[in-house]
């Protein structure tokens, strides 16, 4: 069983930064695509950022483009989401997700296509 555990959430003022981490167990990162999704109260889960297994393609939602960066450290089996210039509308529970996707060269933004999910970490951005 592949397990993903997020950490790094918390309370931050608008304009601040946070770095989320997602540690994987039961797998190596090779041939897995990784992504971050978020869900705010009363809203549907939405794609935030993703990376193909090779790292050759990354994709971001328009709302976070230029502010968030997804990265991966294969040696540590960890995926990161660096979040800068945070806004109150970024407040949500953030989930990391992974899928087995060998040979896939573009990021998949559909949450239903991801097999493995973390428990979520709360990010709250105050005004």
Does pLDDT of 31 surpass 90?
no
CA distances for 39 relative to 4, 26, 58, angstroms: 17, 26, 20
With bands split at pLDDT 50, 70 and 90, how would you rate the model's confidence at 121? very high
Question: Residues 53, 102: contact at Cβ < 8 Å?
Answer: yes
Of all residues in the chain, what percent carry a pLDDT higher than 70?
Answer: 98
With bands split at pLDDT 50, 70 and 90, how would you rate the model's confidence at 110? very high
* Alpha-carbon radius of gyration of the chain: 14
Question: Residues 51, 107: contact at Cβ < 8 Å?
Answer: yes
Looking at residue 29, what is its pLDDT? Answer: 63
Report the distance separating Cα 49 and Cα 38, nearest Å: 10
Looking at residue 72, what is its pLDDT? Answer: 93
Half-sphere exposure of 28 (CA within 13 A, CB side): 5
Average pLDDT of the chain is 94
């Amino acid at each position: 069983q592949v397990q993903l555990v997020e950490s790094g959430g918390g309370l931050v003022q608008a304009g601040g930064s946070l770095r989320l981490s997602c540690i994987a167990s039961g797998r190596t990162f090779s041939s897995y695509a990784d992504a971050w999704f978020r869900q705010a109260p009363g809203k549907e889960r939405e794609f935030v950022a993703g990376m193909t297994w090779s790292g050759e393609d990354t994709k971001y939602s328009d709302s976070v483009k230029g502010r968030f960066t997804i990265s991966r450290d294969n040696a540590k089996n960890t995926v990161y989401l660096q979040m800068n210039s945070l806004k109150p509308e970024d407040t949500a529970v953030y989930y990391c997700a992974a899928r087995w996707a060998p040979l896939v060269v573009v990021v998949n933004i559909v949450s239903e296509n991801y097999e493995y999910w973390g428990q979520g970490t709360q990010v709250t951005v105050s005004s």
